[in-house]
Amino acid sequence: MPADTVSVTGWGRTAPSAARLIRPRTYEEAVAAVRDCGVRGGIPRGLGRAYGDAAQNAGGAVWDMTGLDRIHVIDAAGGTVLCDAGVSLHRLMEVLLPLGWFVPVTPGTRYVTVGGAIGADIHGKNHHVSGSFARHVLSFELLTADGTIRTVGHGTPLFDATAGGMGLTGVILTATVRLQPVETSLMAVDTERATDLDDLMSRLTGTDHRYRYSVAWIDLLARGTATGRAVLTRGDHAPLDALPPRARREPLAFRPSQLPPAPAFLPNGLLSRTTVGLFNELWYRGAPRARTGELQKLPAFFHPLDGVPHWNRVYGRDGFVQYQFVVGYGHEDALRRIVRRISAHRCPSFLAVLKRFGEADPGWLSFPRPGWTLALDIPAALPGLGAFLDALDEEVVTAGGRVYLAKDSRLRPDLLTAMYPRVDDFRALRAELDPRGLFVSDLSRRLAL
């Protein structure tokens, strides 16, 4: 297989590293790629939407798995699909929606692969109801360090180590996933404004159980009595009888639209405190105080940024850091302190969302646990960002919380065990399964995984 040495980076476009990029197109080529990866090892990679360094491997191999992209079996009666790990959620939606099925969990982009969804154990707006992606995976085939392809069933130690394991237990080749039935490709959406963080948390706690999907955009530049003001958006798949007559002609149509891509070169500083503050003010004031039952297309509700290809370029050449943490219920004071600190630091974040997590998922390194999760983007060139985020990490750890490894690019390794209590079990299983340390990434080296 041809291999090109290229500069590889995460979606945040920080800390690039050079690696040999290999694109297997068959299972046999994948086995050969693993066996011949060299002394610096290798790591599987999907569509590159992990924000940090999880799918990078300086000086080694990176296996681009998007060439394995076949959908093998769709059980339209039972609601399952068997597909290659390189199939994207976008492709699954194109194929499955006309049959009345939807992916069980989707993050803020549909351009992630099934293998990446398992490796990061992605979550979406429905975690409080449906859990993370791996909860809906019945089994997968895993190529391990000895060249063996193993069928891994739900509930086994290898399954739980791989779900959220960031590709470090092996290369996922195929997966069988349980699907969500839908009658239409539209969403019935309720929108409301919250005046501050306490108002937002009260609304979420009191009424989230009524909705399958729930998310709040939060203004992290607002201060004083408006600290934590937000626009709350919740909904569910619209039933057929909620559609107007014209829409019922093609109730399961899926035709995402796209704007022109962001320019390849944009200057740093485009997203400053001034520009983001103006955007946040307009977005908050432009949202309805209360609106119910609005019909929205799936892409608008789940993946608005996918409509702008390469939107990550707007942060300029220095890129951005995506920071996401969770703190448990009962630690609302910690969440308040963190939001106030972010506001006082004047972090120019226009992509900041707050959600509630439900029951914890079984993956040893899975991120979700019951509690509040806040995700925000911050320009990497912001002065003092490293020290500021280190201080937030300490707040999170003190509250018994954790940060999301799929978005991390700078966590100190000494905090990992406190955040992920089963990390030693993960290391022990890796040592047994991969004694030569064949599967390795920039993230695994940085955090001694």
* Confidence check: pLDDT of 364 > 70: yes
State the pLDDT confidence band at 287, using cuts at 50, 70 and 90: very high
- Residue 113 is given by DSSP the state B
DSSP codes, 150-206: EEEETTSHHHHHHTTSTT-S-EEEEEEEE-EE-S-SEEEEEEEEESSHHHHHHHHHH
- List, for residues 99-121, the tens digit of each pLDDT value: 999 999 999 999 999 999 999 99
* Confidence check: pLDDT of 412 > 80: yes
What average pLDDT score do residues 442-446 get? 98
* Confidence check: pLDDT of 14 > 70: yes
The pLDDT score that the predictor gives to residue 245 is: 92
Close Cβ partners of 397 (under 8 Å, ≥ 6 residues apart): 415, 418, 419
The pLDDT score that the predictor gives to residue 144 is: 98
Share of the chain above pLDDT 70, in %: 99
Report the DSSP beta bridge partners of residue 327. Answer: 372
What average pLDDT score do residues 224-241 get? 97
What average pLDDT score do residues 133-158 get? 97
* Confidence check: pLDDT of 4 > 90: no
The pLDDT score that the predictor gives to residue 260 is: 83
The pLDDT score that the predictor gives to residue 426 is: 98
- List, for residues 253-273, the tens digit of each pLDDT value: 999 988 788 887 777 778 888
What average pLDDT score do residues 350-357 get? 95
Neighbours of 194 (CB within 10 A): 22
| Burial (Cβ within 10 Å: 0-12, 13-18, ≥19) of residue 309 | middle
State the pLDDT confidence band at 299, using cuts at 50, 70 and 90: very high
What average pLDDT score do residues 422-439 get? 97
State the pLDDT confidence band at 1, using cuts at 50, 70 and 90: low
- List, for residues 337-346, the tens digit of each pLDDT value: 999 999 999 9
* Confidence check: pLDDT of 184 > 90: yes
